[in-house]
């Protein structure tokens, strides 16, 4: 998990076949070993139990001991599966991120394929805003390096996806930098600051996203 990450994949002209979509790991190297059927079931059971504990007591209070008790397994099993709390958080985020990716890569329009690129961009922001809001504690608990969130496979996939949609929408300028600008608006810490510390309503953030997309896509 600490090895060098592969370079940013080349932008794919087919937005529904974005490089890395099959393996979106938030913290891994992009290669996940296959699990035996029983091991996969045990992992799923542990992640479901961990999700329940996070919802009940928050990510900051989730311990490996509490997870072992909730899942009815030994503490050693939890450590062997995830390594430590950071590994557990990354596995949980990977699971949640896969659900989000399935929605924007293959789900129904306008978020998924079948809608014009600009409509998909408009739908992408609210979907990610809600994802970041709902998993704020988990995401921040897993962040141990301030730079790493920009280079993990899930972030590269989001960047590629948004860049492809911008190109398809005919956006002028450097679409990769414009994609970074749009994704910066969806940063977990910023979303939390605006929603919780500033008390802004979610619909105001969504309206801001739509205005930003309109300005950037039609600029020039």
Within 8 A by CB and 6+ apart from 180, the residues are 159
The predicted-structure confidence for 152-167, as pLDDT tens digits, reads as follows: 888 999 999 999 999 9
Q: pTM of the full predicted structure? A: 0.71
**DSSP letter for each residue of 33-63:** ----HHHHHHHHHHHHHHHHHHHHH-GGG--
CB-based contact 209:162 (threshold 8 Å): no
Domains detected in the chain: 36-83 (1.10.10), 86-220 (1.10.357.10)
pLDDT digits (tens, 9 = 90+) for 184-210: 999 988 999 999 999 999 999 999 999
HSE-up of 78 (CA within 13 Å, CB side)? 25
Whether 122 shows a pLDDT value over 90: the answer reads yes
Structure tokens at 88: 């557990």
Virtual CA dihedral for 183, 188, 193, 195, nearest 10 degrees? 90
How far is residue 120 CA from its own chain's centroid? 17
The mean pLDDT of 123-137, rounded to a whole number, is: 92
- Residue 205: φ, ψ to 5°: -65, -40
202 and 195 Cβ atoms separated by less than 8 Å? yes
Decide: helix, strand or coil at residue 83: coil
Helical spans, DSSP H, in the chain: 37-57, 64-71, 75-82, 85-106, 117-134, 136-142, 153-168, 175-185, 188-192, 202-218
């Amino acid at each position: 998990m600490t090895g060098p990450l592969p370079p940013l994949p080349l932008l794919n002209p087919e937005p529904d076949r974005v490089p890395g979509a099959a393996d979106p790991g938030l913290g891994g190297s992009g290669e996940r070993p296959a699990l035996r059927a029983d091991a996969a079931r045990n992992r799923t059971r542990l992640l479901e139990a961990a999700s329940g504990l996070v919802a009940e007591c928050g990510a900051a209070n989730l311990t490996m001991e509490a997870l072992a008790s909730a899942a009815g397994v030994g503490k050693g099993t939890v450590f062997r599966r995830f390594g430590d709390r950071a590994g557990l958080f990354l596995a949980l985020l990977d699971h949640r991120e896969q659900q989000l990716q399935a929605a924007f890569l293959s789900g129904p329009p306008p978020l998924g394929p079948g809608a014009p690129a600009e409509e998909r961009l408009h739908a992408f922001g609210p979907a990610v805003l809600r994802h970041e809001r709902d998993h704020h504690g988990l995401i921040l608990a897993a962040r141990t390096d301030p730079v790493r969130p920009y280079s993990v496979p899930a972030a590269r996939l989001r960047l590629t996806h948004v860049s492809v949609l911008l190109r398809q929408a005919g956006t002028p300028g450097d679409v990769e930098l414009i994609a970074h600008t749009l994704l910066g608006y969806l940063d977990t810490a910023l979303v939390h600051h605006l929603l919780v510390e500033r008390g802004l309503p979610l619909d105001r953030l969504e309206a801001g996203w739509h205005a930003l997309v309109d300005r950037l896509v039609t600029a020039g």
